């Protein structure tokens, strides 16, 4: 098998040990005679898989007991609709949703939320090219807003929050953590809702995690589909409809793997070192550039540009020949992007650094 390092932003690299275990259990999960793909989501075999995954995630993130963990479908974009349908009803009309606009994903969230309530963009870094998180002192927040929505790591623009965002009064903070959940320690109690698509640090595409405080479960609009009503999903332990069973199984294997690696604190230390290696290589001279303010640089998604963009195709061809894959930047911003999630080993980052130095030298 060819050794490659996959820098895709998502669906993304998974731990090799997890893939090997899944392969060994593909036809027969622990003597059941069934693949996990074939199991009833209400059968004892899958229920045990689900409960262990939920318990391990709760332990990894130290999720308080007054928060529910929901395993849902629809991805992050789906939650952009599910969230307002579940939270706008907690305030009187006309409801207002506060947003901090820091890049492509918060922009998509703003557009979707505007279908359900008034939107107040409390702060935006668009005029700066989405190279930073706006100073929280400049945020123009709304008293009595339905919630404050932030994307704490922008996958495309490479901007990451280095602080806990605050709303006014008892307004809950909703955080899209799709691209850096489980990569750094967080205090779940500081957020009303945390959600994340699985395909970055958790598992395969198709699963979406939602961590929601108990008091926010039952404020859904009448138009909210029953399968997306958080209270309904919570009361049925994510089994109201058939959940993405195999994706939950793989996520559970990832959670167990992270525990064996030392948990989130250990992963954060490794991620700091990986990001340091790569940013130092990019900053060494002006052949490459990363345009994000140093204080807001993402540890997970690192966009960069060649000084002479006519060399882009040559750079990508050379990278592919060395087994360094999926380095082309998102079409909306161009350039390059290296996503170095938890499962990317430091050897992969070092191989990319070696190639960066070699290509620049050539």
331 is catalytic: no
Phi-psi region of 323 (alpha: psi -120 to 50; beta: other; left: phi over 0): left
Q: Which of 29, 68, 98, 105 is catalytic?
A: 105
310 is catalytic: no
Cα dihedral 70, 189, 101, 181 sign: negative
* CA distance linking residue 130 with residue 344, whole number of Å: 26
Q: Which of 56, 98, 157, 176 is catalytic?
A: 176
Type and span of the H or E element at 147: strand 147-151
Q: Which of 56, 139, 157, 200 is catalytic?
A: 200
Structure token digits, residue 165: 């965002």
What is the strand order of the sheet 96-101 is part of? 67-72, 208-213, 193-197, 173-176, 147-151, 96-101, 118-124
Q: What 3-state DSSP class applies to 250?
A: helix
Q: Is-contact 297 279, C-beta < 8 A?
A: yes
320 phi and psi angles, rounded to 5 deg = -60, -40
105 is catalytic: yes
Phi-psi region of 295 (alpha: psi -120 to 50; beta: other; left: phi over 0): alpha
Instruction: State the virtual CA torsion across 136, 140, 143, 146 in degrees, nearest 10.
Output: -80
Annotated catalytic residues are 105, 176, 200
């Amino acid at each position: 098998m060819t050794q490659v390092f996959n820098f895709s932003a998502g669906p993304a690299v998974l731990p090799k040990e997890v893939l090997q275990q899944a392969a060994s259990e593909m036809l027969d999960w622990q003597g059941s005679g069934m693949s996990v793909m074939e199991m009833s989501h209400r059968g004892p075999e899958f229920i045990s898989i689900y409960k262990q995954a939920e318990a391990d995630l709760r332990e990894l993130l130290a999720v308080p007991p007054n928060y529910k963990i929901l395993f849902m479908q629809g991805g992050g974009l789906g939650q952009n609709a599910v969230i307002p349908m579940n939270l706008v009803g907690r305030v009187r009309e006309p409801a207002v949703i506060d947003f901090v606009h820091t890049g492509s994903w918060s922009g998509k969230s703003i557009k979707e939320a505007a279908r359900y309530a008034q939107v107040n963009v409390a702060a935006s870094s668009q005029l700066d090219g989405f190279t930073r998180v706006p100073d929280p002192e400049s945020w123009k927040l709304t008293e009595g807003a339905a919630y404050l929505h932030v994307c704490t790591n922008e996958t495309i623009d490479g901007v990451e929050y280095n602080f806990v965002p605050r709303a006014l009064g008892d307004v809950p903070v909703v955080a899209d953590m799709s691209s850096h959940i489980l990569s750094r320690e967080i205090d779940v109690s500081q957020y009303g809702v945390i959600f994340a698509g699985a395909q970055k640090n958790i598992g395969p595409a198709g699963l979406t995690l939602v961590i929601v405080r108990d008091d926010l479960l039952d404020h859904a609009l009448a138009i909210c589909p029953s399968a997306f009503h958080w209270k309904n999903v919570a009361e049925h332990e994510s089994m109201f409809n058939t959940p993405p069973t195999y994706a939950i199984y793989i996520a559970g294997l990832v959670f167990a793997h992270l525990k064996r690696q030392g948990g989130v604190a250990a992963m954060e230390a490794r991620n700091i070192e990986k990001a340091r290696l790569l940013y130092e290589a990019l900053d060494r001279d002006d052949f490459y550039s990363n345009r994000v303010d140093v204080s807001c640089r993402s540890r997970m998604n690192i966009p960069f540009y060649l000084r002479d963009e006519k060399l882009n195709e040559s750079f990508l061809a050379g990278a592919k020949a060395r087994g360094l894959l999926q380095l082309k930047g998102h079409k909306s911003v161009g350039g390059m992007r290296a996503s170095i999630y938890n499962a990317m080993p430091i050897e992969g980052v070092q191989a990319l650094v070696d190639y960066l130095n070699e290509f620049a030298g050539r």
